[in-house]
Amino acid sequence: MAKLVIVESPSKINSVKKYLGSGYNVMASKGHIRDLPKSKLGVDIQNNFKLQYINMPDKKDVIKSLKDAAAESEQVLLATDPDREGEAISWHLAHILGLDLNEENRICFNEISESGVKAGIKNPHKIDIDLVDAQQARRVIDRIVGYKLSPFLWRKVKSGLSAGRVQTVALRLIVDREREVLAFKSEEYWTVEAKLLSSRKTFTAKLYGNANGEKLPVISEEKAANDIVAAIADAEFRVSDIKKGTRNKHPSPPFTTSTLQQEASRKLGFTGQRTMRIAQQLYEGIDIAGYGTTGLITYMRTDSLRISEEARTAANNFIMGKYGEKYLPSKPRYFKSKSSAQDAHEAIRPTNVDFEPEKIKASLTAEQYKLYKLIWERFLASLMAACVQNTVSTDIIAGDYMFKASGYSVKFDGFTVLYEEGKDEESADSVTIPDTLKIGDVLKLKSLVPNQHFTQPPARYTEPTLIKALDENGIGRPSTYAPILTNILQRNYIEREKKTLKPTQLGMVVSDLMIEYFKQIFEVKFTAGLETKLDKIGNGDLDWIDTVNDFYKDFDALYKKAEESLDGKRVKVPTVETDVVCEKCGRKMVVKSGRFGKFLACPGYPECKNTKPMPEDEVKQ
């Protein structure tokens, strides 16, 4: 009799089978097989929050096949994904298949490679009930929030809306930032730039302060800038000081779930959802010509920066062979994970560094190749020597004023020969200063220009900066960021404006309503604190029922107060009026949103039901 190994995804079956051999039968649960009913809350609040699980109707055939196979197997091994959700799926499988929870029948694959699969098989353990309890606590809390507040929004605003424990906090961040943008008052300021010539090379220096090196106050009007230009237009520009040095630029750590989504958005233009879908494919296995189905990366849901010593050694040997010893740091580089990180898995890395992206490109789709290349290069670069830069800064006196210029050149490229991290905002340009420059040199003035500027409002969130904010504030888990963003976009709470995320009128109304009546529940710190409590449940340090009960008591009191305050009332969503006149009744048409995007509608509904597409110039904005 063969042993039955149950994984989550059917696409893993061939990869795992290849490494285990003929003594094993591999099947897939295709995700969850039991869940709470869709038609009701499914949580008995009066009976210690007992969950009323049912077998999922669309998994009837899967469950029968697994039961039949389990009955004919020597042993059943549960190899669902190695995280909180995967642990819960294994627990549900054990219940349905009648497995003993005291038996060591749970195995985990951190990577779908020969070493990863064999290591998992060699180290079976009991299902981690603490992790299961953490998943159940999260499920109950999210269920209560969703099932209570979504109907509340239907009654008080409009049908089809939803609220979520983490989703609403993410929306709040975007709304709060928009309010900062709207309240911002731009202020004028001026700078003065001198274009200077030395040894036939031109460079730019910026006005800094007075001749004694004291920084000037902000120049707020054109006249003051012009007065300075007039005062030094005929002055001698002389180098008063030069400072030279070196600095090391160190590589970024290998990817976590959060940083992978951020970087894939910056460099590849991928949404978080698209990144996670492709990463799942790379983890589960790709048919590589000459090698068969092979998992190319480690598990992609992780916030740890740990790297196995085996992987480190393989990477060091690759770097040494391809780039030479000088591209390895003098001491091995270790990255420290943040204190809240779950350290069960490594950082996201290639399972085999010898699978260079170019070598296996023909076996990958275009998007798989791009993401794999990003992961492969980031991992290798993280273990390479720092980039060494020569720095130079110079002070230049002109009359009663001092100008400054600074720049750098690369002395040793180090890890940048392979990879550099993308940036959310462009940094100030570095100036190339002539090597021959020395103290006392008199420079030729080519031009002296005053430049007008205006202070800019805080930047709206983009997908990568929102993910970064959620991650840094401990809101939700990195694996939930992509579905959260997708949900608030689909609900029309936010919209994309070029690359930025902007709340709609509906989104602002929903956020304001939730914060007015449920402020405590949707505070950033409260949400992060709840995430910490879930982690403590998973570590066996907190009781899940007590944690849920504490949450529910506070939530229920707020809910009752909100219902009482808004009894018989509805909150109106402001409409955006346009200059387009309804040809049927003469009213000015308003902007509405539907499942296919924005359109124009007559505000006279239901008397006048006229609608029309948005004008082309509006759609393009």
Q: Is the torsion defined by CA of 311, 317, 318, 320 positive or negative?
A: positive
Q: Residue 619 pLDDT > 50, yes or no?
A: no
Known catalytic residue at 372: no
Whole-number Å distance between alpha carbons of 397 and 201: 19
> Count of alpha carbons within 13 Å of 70, Cβ hemisphere only?
20
Q: For 300-304, 360-364, 430-434, 584-588, which range has the lowest pLDDT when averaged over its residues?
A: 430-434
pLDDT at 134: 95
Q: What CA–CA distance (Å, rounded) separates 329 from 327?
A: 7
Interval 269-299: pLDDT, tens = 999 999 999 999 999 999 999 998 899 999 9
CB distance 267 to 374 below 8 Å: yes
Q: What is the dihedral of CA 321, 326, 330, 336, to 10 degrees?
A: -70
Neighbours of 243 (CB within 10 A): 10
Summarised one tens digit per residue, pLDDT across range 407-422 is 998 999 999 999 988 7
**Within 10 Å of residue 496's Cβ, how many Cβ atoms?**
12
| Residue 315, pLDDT score | 97
Measure the CA–CA gap between 43 and 545, rounded to whole angstroms: 12
Q: What pLDDT band is residue 106 in, cutting at 50, 70 and 90?
A: very high
Please determine, for residue 11, whether its predicted confidence score (pLDDT) is greater than 50.
yes
| Averaged pLDDT score across all residues of the chain | 93
pLDDT number for residue 428: 56
Taking 80 as the threshold, does the pLDDT of residue 424 lie above it? Answer: no
Mean pLDDT of 235-249: 96
Residues 6+ apart with CB under 8 A from 247: 388, 389, 391, 408
The three-state DSSP-derived secondary structure of 20-31 is HCCCEEEEECCC
User: In angstroms, what CA-CA distances link 602 with 160, 505, 583, 593?
Assistant: 21, 18, 10, 13
| Rounded distance between C-alpha atoms, residue 90 and residue 79, angstroms | 8
Angstrom distance (rounded) from CA 268 to CA 371: 8
- pLDDT score recorded for residue 432: 86
Spatial neighbors of 41 by CB under 8 A, at least 6 apart, are 143, 144, 147
Other CB atoms within 10 Å distance of the CB of residue 412:
16
- The rounded distance, in Å, linking the Cα atoms of 68 and 440 is 89
Model pLDDT for residues 329-340, shown as the tens digit of each residue:
999 999 987 765
For the stretch 348-358, pLDDT in tens is 999 999 999 99
At 508 the pLDDT is 96
Residue 310 has pLDDT above 70, yes or no: yes
The β-bridge partners of 445 are 196
The arithmetic mean of pLDDT across residues 97-119, rounded, is: 94
Mean pLDDT confidence for 220-227: 97
Choice among 19, 299, 419, 481 that is catalytic? 299
Q: What contacts 318, CB < 8 A, 6 or more positions away?
A: 353, 354, 380
DSSP 191-215: EEEEEEEETTEEEEEEEEEETTSPB
Rounded alpha-carbon distances, angstroms, from residue 520 to 125, 377, 527, 562: 40, 43, 9, 13
- The pair phi, psi for residue 234, each rounded to 5°, is -105, 10
State the CB neighbour count (10 A cutoff) for residue 156. 18
Amino acid at 249: K
As a whole-number percent, the residues of the chain with pLDDT over 90 amount to: 81
Rounded to whole angstroms, the Cα distance separating 26 from 5 reads: 5
Average pLDDT over residues 537-558: 96
- Summarize the confidence of residues 569-589 as an average pLDDT: 89
CA–CA distance, 522 with 417 (Å, rounded to integer): 45
Higher pLDDT, 616 or 402: 402
**Confidence (pLDDT) at 621:** 38
Tokens of 519: 């402020």
| Distance from C-alpha of 143 to C-alpha of 127, rounded to nearest angstrom | 24
Q: Is the pLDDT of residue 168 over 70?
A: yes
The alpha carbon of 146 is separated from its chain's Cα centroid by a whole number of angstroms, namely 23
> What's the one-letter identity of residue 121?
I
Q: What is the pLDDT of residue 620?
A: 39
Q: What is the DSSP letter of 42?
A: -
Alpha-carbon torsion (420, 424, 429, 430), positive or negative = negative
On the CB side of 9, CA atoms within 13 Å amount to 15
CA distance 458 to 469: 14
155 Rama sector, left if φ>0, alpha if ψ -120 to 50, beta otherwise:
alpha
Contacts (Cβ under 8 Å, ≥6 apart) of 429: none
Q: Please, are residues 285 and 11 in contact by the beta-carbon 8 Å criterion?
A: yes
pTM for this predicted structure: 0.86
Mean pLDDT of 415-431: 77
Cα dist from 209 to 223, 240, 306, 363, 545, whole Å: 17, 13, 47, 59, 63
Cβ neighbours of 75 (radius 10 Å)? 15
Question: What average pLDDT score do residues 169-180 get?
Answer: 96
